[in-house]
């Protein structure tokens, strides 16, 4: 039995889902914790309610639906394309609401028309909210992690730094800390002087031999999860990251990109202008972005109601491209949010890459918004 009441408009949502050719699915409330801990991101990890079974395996109360729906799709070996819909309870520790609440949403798996699928996800979320909240003016905030990745790559940063920045996308505080470190590099702290000297010398064989000798002498080698070669490689990576410095002009460019915020109809030309002025090759990423803008226009959405913000992301690590949120104008509560997660199904065990995009509706916030005068 649910601990909270289903919102009165739940039947309306199910009608909307049915009209959009979706298959409704449910997933168990108790889920294996590992996929969420590995792939959902730090923000959600801190909010999960954990437990374990009699074998000591980590379990959790379902904190969201995307990962369970994807796991179910893989387990049932259902072909694609497939559109799944869900409506049920999720459980998260929250500061601004009940820890148990209802979410509903659609996951669109296997649609290879990327721009059209992105536009459909935004359009469906917007249209359902417009029906549930008649008379409310809705706004959409849109970001694109793929464009940010293209900018970071074009700046020529080492792969490790690219990974750190991409993982921090959408978290303004983390991005700022990383940019400060890129502006003022520092050596790796806490290293043995001998290790520091060997790293500086570039003598990889001597570094590996020293690590192996130390592990043998301390008895650590019998329980080590990494070999001396792997440890040496990790130390070199950390040293490279610590010593990398992004010159002042490049830092200014990255900050300039992250400051972009403008109506979606103006975004493509602004991105192209930025790339030209900065001398960065972003053609492929900008073309995909423009294809989505065109698809949104073809779907009949009011592009003037959509804002593009270059730094905008959502606090889930599995997003790969589009991210978006829908809210009532002049009210901060996110009513719907979603994005593209093209790598998630492969990470969860799918045999081949399955493009995917989806969104969720926050039913408690929608209900509260409907009661606002």
pLDDT band at 188 (very low <50, low <70, confident <90, very high): low
Q: Exposure string (b/e) for 306-315, b if CB count within 10 Å is 16 or more?
A: bbbbbbbbbe
Please state the rounded mean pLDDT for residues 8-13.
Answer: 94
Encode pLDDT of 69-86 as tens digits: 999 999 998 888 999 999
Instruction: Give 280 or 223, the one with higher predicted confidence.
Output: 280
Encode pLDDT of 304-316 as tens digits: 999 999 999 998 8
Instruction: Give 322 or 183, the one with higher predicted confidence.
Output: 322
Please state the rounded mean pLDDT for residues 52-64.
Answer: 92
Mean pLDDT of the chain: 88
| Secondary-structure breakdown of the chain: helix, strand, coil percentages, each rounded to the nearest 5 | 50, 20, 35
Q: Over 50: is that where the pLDDT of 200 sits?
A: yes
CA-to-CA distance for 223 and 35, rounded, in angstroms?
A: 26
Residue 207 pLDDT: 73
pLDDT band at 199 (very low <50, low <70, confident <90, very high): low
Please state the rounded mean pLDDT for residues 94-121.
Answer: 93
Q: Is 92 marked as a binding-site residue?
A: yes
Which of 184-193, 278-287, 322-331 has the weakest average pLDDT? Answer: 184-193
Residue 80 pLDDT: 87
Q: Over 80: is that where the pLDDT of 96 sits?
A: no
Q: Where are the domains of the chain?
A: 10-141+325-371, 193-243
Residue 184 pLDDT: 73
% of the chain beyond a pLDDT of 90: 61
Which of 24-28, 167-171, 211-215, 266-270 has the weakest average pLDDT? Answer: 211-215
Q: Is 216 marked as a binding-site residue?
A: no
Q: Is 291 marked as a binding-site residue?
A: no
Residue 1 pLDDT: 40
Residue 241 pLDDT: 58
Q: Is 176 marked as a binding-site residue?
A: no
Q: Is 318 marked as a binding-site residue?
A: yes
Encode pLDDT of 128-179 as tens digits: 999 999 999 999 999 999 999 999 999 888 787 888 889 889 888 989 988 8
Q: Over 60: is that where the pLDDT of 373 sits?
A: no
pLDDT band at 183 (very low <50, low <70, confident <90, very high): confident
Q: Is 65 marked as a binding-site residue?
A: yes
| pTM score | 0.84
Residue 285 pLDDT: 96
- Rounded alpha-carbon distances, angstroms, from residue 62 to 88, 100, 107, 108: 10, 10, 16, 20
Q: Is 52 marked as a binding-site residue?
A: no
In terms of Cα–Cα distance, which of 354, 337, 336 is closest to 345?
354
CA-to-CA distance for 137 and 97, rounded, in angstroms?
A: 24
What is the helix (H) or strand (E) element at residue 56, kind and residue range? none
Residue 43 pLDDT: 80
Q: Is 66 marked as a binding-site residue?
A: yes
CA-to-CA distance for 231 and 237, rounded, in angstroms?
A: 10
What is the helix (H) or strand (E) element at residue 39, kind and residue range? helix 34-39
Burial (0-12, 13-18, 19+ Cβ within 10 Å), 45: middle
Q: Over 80: is that where the pLDDT of 60 sits?
A: yes
Q: Dig out the tokens for 22 from the structure.
A: 């979706």
Encode pLDDT of 234-256 as tens digits: 666 666 656 556 667 888 899 99
Q: What is the DSSP string of 236-285?
A: HHHHHHHH----HHHHHHHHHHHT-EEEHHHHHHHHHHHHHHHT---HHH
Name the β-bridge partners of 59: 32, 51
10-141+325-371 maps to which CATH number?
3.30.930.10
Please state the rounded mean pLDDT for residues 174-192.
Answer: 74
User: What's 222's DSSP letter?
Assistant: G
Q: Is 103 marked as a binding-site residue?
A: yes
């Amino acid at each position: 039995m649910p601990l909270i009441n289903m919102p009165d408009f739940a039947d309306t949502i199910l009608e909307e889902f049915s009209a959009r050719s979706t298959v409704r699915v449910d997933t168990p409330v108790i889920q294996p914790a590992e996929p969420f801990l590995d792939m959902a991101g730090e923000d959600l990890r801190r909010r999960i309610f954990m437990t374990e079974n009699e074998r000591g395996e980590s379990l959790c109360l379902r904190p969201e639906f995307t990962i369970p729906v994807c796991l179910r799709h893989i387990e049932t070996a259902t072909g694609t394309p497939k559109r799944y819909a869900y409506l049920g309870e999720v459980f998260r520790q929250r500061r601004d609401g009940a820890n148990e609440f209802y979410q509903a949403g659609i996951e669109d798996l296997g649609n290879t028309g990327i721009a059209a699928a992105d536009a459909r996800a935004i359009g469906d979320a917007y249209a359902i909210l417009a029906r549930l909240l008649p008379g409310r003016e809705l706004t959409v905030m849109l970001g694109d992690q793929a464009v940010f990745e293209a900018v970071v790559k074009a700046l020529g940063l080492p792969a490790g730094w690219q990974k750190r920045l991409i993982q921090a996308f959408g978290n303004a505080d983390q991005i700022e800390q990383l940019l400060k470190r890129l502006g003022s590099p520092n050596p790796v702290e806490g290293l043995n002087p001998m290790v520091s000297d060997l790293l500086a010398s570039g003598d990889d064989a001597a570094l590996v031999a020293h690590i192996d000798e130390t592990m043998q002498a301390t008895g650590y080698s019998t329980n080590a999860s990494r070999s001396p070669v792997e440890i040496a490689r990790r130390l070199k990576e950390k040293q490279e990251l610590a010593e990398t410095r992004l010159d002042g002009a490049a830092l200014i460019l990255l900050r300039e990109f992250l400051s972009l915020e403008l109506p979606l109809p103006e975004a493509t030309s602004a991105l192209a202008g930025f790339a030209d002025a900065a001398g960065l090759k972003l053609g492929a990423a900008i073309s995909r972005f423009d294809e989505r803008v065109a698809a949104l226009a073809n779907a009949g959405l009011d592009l003037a109601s959509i804002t593009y913000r270059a730094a905008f992301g959502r606090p889930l690590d599995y997003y790969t491209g589009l991210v978006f949120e829908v809210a009532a104008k002049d009210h901060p509560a996110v009513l719907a949010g979603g994005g593209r997660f093209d790598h998630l199904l492969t990470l969860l065990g799918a045999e081949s890459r399955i493009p995917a995009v989806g969104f969720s509706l926050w039913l408690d916030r929608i209900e509260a918004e409907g009661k606002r005068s």
